[in-house]
Amino acid sequence: MFASGEPSSVRQECEDSLRRLRTDYLDLFQLHSPTDDVPVEETWARWSASRAGKTRFIGVSNFDVDLLRRCSEVGSVDSVQPVYNILHREIEHELIPCAAL
């Protein structure tokens, strides 16, 4: 998760993860929740642009349909990881169909 949604923070977060994991690229880098300081579109645009050679796939978790659509309008969302279990099946109605597009 980003400490800040600032576009300059996105690249630093990725570089920090690469260093900690001692690798040249990440298979999947996920945004777990947007921050209040920057619109999610700005964060996603920077993240999409900075992935070249560093991240194979980028995705989101804990996003509702509105946030998923806002990110999708800016760039590809490769994975969606929502809360889903026998007690929380709401995603079957909107989020799964939206993610399948």
- pTM for the full predicted model: 0.77
Closest among 60, 100, 96 to 80, alpha carbons compared: 60
The pLDDT tens digits for 37-89 are 888 898 888 877 776 778 889 899 888 899 999 999 998 899 998 888 898 88
The pLDDT tens digits for 81-100 are 888 889 888 888 888 888 87
Amino acid residing at 26: L
CB 32 within 8 A of CB 1: yes
- Largest distance between two CA atoms of the chain: 40
Classify 7-99 by CATH class. alpha beta
The pLDDT tens digits for 24-35 are 988 988 888 877
**Contacts of residue 85, Cβ cutoff 8 Å, sequence gap at least 6:** none
